Amino acid sequence: MMKNTNQYINSEKKRFLSELLELLKIPSVSADSKHDKDTRDCAKWVLKAMNNSGLKNTQLIETAGHPVVFGEFIIDSALPTVLVYGHYDVQPADPIELWNSPPFEPVIKDKVIYARGSADDKGQFYMHLKAIEAMIKTDELPCNVKVLIEGEEEVGSENLDLFIKNNRELLSNDVIIISDTHMIDNDTPSITSGLKGLAYMEVEITGPNRDLHSGTYGGSVANPINVLSKMIASLTDENNRITIPGFYDKVIEVSLEDRVEMGRAPFSEKEFKASIDISMEDGEKGYTTPERQGIRPTLDVNGIWGGYIGEGAKTVLPSKAYAKISMRLVPDQNSIEISELFQKHFESIAPKSVKVKVHTHHGGEPVVTNLNSKGYKAASLAMEKTFGKKPVPVRQGGSIPIVSLFEAELNTNCILIGFGLASDAIHSPNEHYGLFNFYKGIETIPYFFKYFCEL
Ligand code: BES
Ligand code: MN
Ligand code: MN
């Protein structure tokens, strides 16, 4: 007798895992040109994996950057089409000395896979390939499916923009499903109902035209690092509100009623603090930690440098100081507008004693999910089926810039059904992904297809 999808998944579990471990060995670090060949090798690996999973019309498509990988299984054009999106690129592994095992030599310890990309996003998009394989091989795929896995998410998906605009027909669909976010915990399934946008700036402050002796010149010439520190400090006030004029103008305030509803999602202040070893949380006055993370815009310095940072003490008044500053945005803020507001403000607060340059890096727009959409309902039913509990919607602080572009260009909803955990340490040393989560995802995804087609 032919197996059904569940039986197929159960009997192939071991192989699914060993394939994922192979994928995790490829250091596809998109930001680092030293890894360009590895990143391309990874795309080729994904292409082969799509073929092995039974997808047709598979293609490795060149872009101006790292290639995109596509595959599909079209049963009948009259049936709905689900588009799966994921990314095969990963964040750099450094600081490498803080890893307990090498980032690209996956190990399984206590039912958890440790490797760069295990949760973000290789372990998550691979669940979709395996779920699709199971449905195809058992003849239980209820509709058409397309799969798009890109290699530049971690560097802003800049080339994917053009790819989507030029390939609307190839990518046409009825719903887009993405597993690249996390749930509350393994007993509390949740669906990401919103992501933040991003405006990412880099600033350069120049004082004197060369480094100076800090005794001879100190106190008589503006020190760019002192100046930059004051400028940055002034970007937020004593209530941790951002001081850039106009910054909050377009923020849609979430109603008290909706905030009460959001507050139902379980959250332990105590566990949160313990998990990152802090004694006190901090953020915009008047909001809870989950609200600060999910529904309020934020500003953070990601890096700051300048002057002497070598061994010992060198007395120097540096010529330059730099910082990378990101702002996470909520509806209806727009990343271009916010970047411009930042630039104008930052230039205006610089004292005459220094020169200031402001550069805008890639950005992205915020998104919120319509909880009444067919896609959301199907995802909710699917999780309820496999977790035995109805998932709660949670707005999250991360960004996937391509989501808003997908929705605008392809005119469909993106459903963010991630199976990771906040504690997976994505982008950090010792990133990991639970076997429970990997298998639960594979088990849940076919139900999403089923319910989406039935609704
Ligand atoms: N998977 C993450 C986004 C994410 C993380 C969503 C946590 C929800 C919760 C994605 O790979 C990512 O890292 N995005 C970047 C943005 C990008 C432009 C570099 C981010 O959020 O910093
Ligand atoms: Mn990701
Ligand atoms: Mn990421």
Query: Distance of CA 213 to CAs 63, 166, 229, 314, 378, Å?
Result: 49, 56, 20, 9, 66
Cα–Cα distance between 326 and 200 in angstroms, integer?
Answer: 4
Structure-token pair, residue 122: 């290789």
Structure-token pair, residue 403: 């989501």
Residue having the nearest C-alpha atom to atom 7 of ligand 1: 398
Ligand 1 neighbours, Cβ below 6 Å, are 120-121, 153-154, 156, 180-182, 195, 198, 364, 396, 398-401
Mark out the alpha helices in 102-198 (DSSP H runs).
Answer: 122-137, 158-166, 168-171
Cα–Cα distance between 21 and 23 in angstroms, integer?
Answer: 5
User: Helix (H, G, I), strand (E, B), or coil: what is residue 381?
Assistant: helix
Long-range contacts of 61-66 (CB under 8 A, 24+ apart): 61/163, 63/152, 63/159, 63/160, 63/162, 63/163, 64/159, 64/162, 65/30, 65/151, 65/152, 65/155, 65/158, 65/159, 66/30, 66/36, 66/39, 66/40, 66/150, 66/151, 66/152, 66/159
User: Which amino acid, 268?
Assistant: S
Q: Report which ligand 1 atom has the smallest distance to the Cα of 182.
A: 9
Q: What is the whole-number distance in angstroms between the Cα of residue 411 and the centre of ligand 1?
A: 22
Residue having the nearest C-alpha atom to atom 13 of ligand 1: 154
Q: What is the whole-number distance in angstroms between the Cα of residue 366 and the centre of ligand 2?
A: 15
**Comparing C-alpha atoms, which of 137, 173, 152 is closest to residue 55?**
137
Do 5 and 139 contact (CB within 8 A), yes or no?
A: no
Q: What is the whole-number distance in angstroms between the Cα of residue 273 and the centre of ligand 1?
A: 22
Question: Tell me: the pLDDT tens digits for 143-178?
Answer: 999 999 999 999 999 999 999 999 999 999 999 999
Question: Tell me: the pLDDT tens digits for 331-376?
Answer: 999 999 999 999 999 999 999 999 999 999 989 999 999 999 999 9
Residue having the nearest C-alpha atom to atom 4 of ligand 1: 398
Do 440 and 419 contact (CB within 8 A), yes or no?
A: yes
Q: Check residue 197 and give its pLDDT.
A: 98
Do 42 and 60 contact (CB within 8 A), yes or no?
A: no
Q: DSSP string covering 41-57, please? A: HHHHHHHHHHHHTT-EE
- Is this structure's pTM higher than 0.85? yes
Do 442 and 16 contact (CB within 8 A), yes or no?
A: yes
Q: Check residue 362 and give its pLDDT.
A: 84
> Any idea which residue has 């109603």 for tokens?
255
Do 375 and 173 contact (CB within 8 A), yes or no?
A: no
Query: What residues contact 397, with CB distance under 8 A and at least 6 apart?
Result: 196, 293, 294, 298, 328
Residue having the nearest C-alpha atom to atom 20 of ligand 1: 399
**Comparing C-alpha atoms, which of 310, 309, 358, 340 is closest to residue 205?**
358
> Any idea which residue has 């603090």 for tokens?
273
Q: What is the whole-number distance in angstroms between the Cα of residue 319 and the centre of ligand 2?
A: 37
Q: Check residue 293 and give its pLDDT.
A: 97
Task: Report residues of the chain scoring pLDDT below 70.
Answer: 1
Q: Check residue 2 and give its pLDDT.
A: 82
Q: What is the whole-number distance in angstroms between the Cα of residue 90 and the centre of ligand 1?
A: 11
Do 178 and 420 contact (CB within 8 A), yes or no?
A: no
How many other β-carbons are positioned within 10 Å of the β-carbon of residue 83? 23
Cα–Cα distance between 153 and 200 in angstroms, integer?
Answer: 15
Q: Check residue 320 and give its pLDDT.
A: 98
DSSP code, position 301: E
Which stretch of DSSP H or E encloses residue 440? helix 435-454
Do 394 and 190 contact (CB within 8 A), yes or no?
A: yes
